[in-house]
Amino acid sequence: MAKLSLFDRRRRRVRTALKARSGGRPRLSVHRSGRHIYAQIIDDADGKTIAAASSLVKGERSIGANVDAAVQVGKEIAEKAKSAGVTTVVFDRGGFLFHGRVKALADAAREGGLEF
């Protein structure tokens, strides 16, 4: 088997710990790239995405990938989750450290009414 990168090892470790303590709650998954930040709420039991938000806005100028964009995405995902009837989630940071843009998105989602 091929050796996993540090990022992939960290992502597997985080995901395994989440599955052990999720208790059937949906997962708020975050992906951060150099240009954008993405968030989606996933129901792992059904394998379906409940809500999604990102800094990538089609047809308009994108809002970028800075901390301010992460805050906007966090507020947007919280609104969409509430309209879909989701109030509690588990936060899946993937292989990313809980720092900077990822932390800003999480804090904004908490302010928007999501509990995790």
9-45, pLDDT tens digit by residue?
Answer: 999 999 999 989 988 899 999 999 999 999 999 999 9
pTM score: 0.91
Determine the Cα angle at 59 with ends 55 and 63, to 5°: 25
**Which pLDDT score is estimated for 60?**
67
Q: Are 68 and 76 in contact (CB under 8 A)?
A: no
Q: Which domains are seen in the chain, by residue range?
A: 6-111 (3.30.420.100)
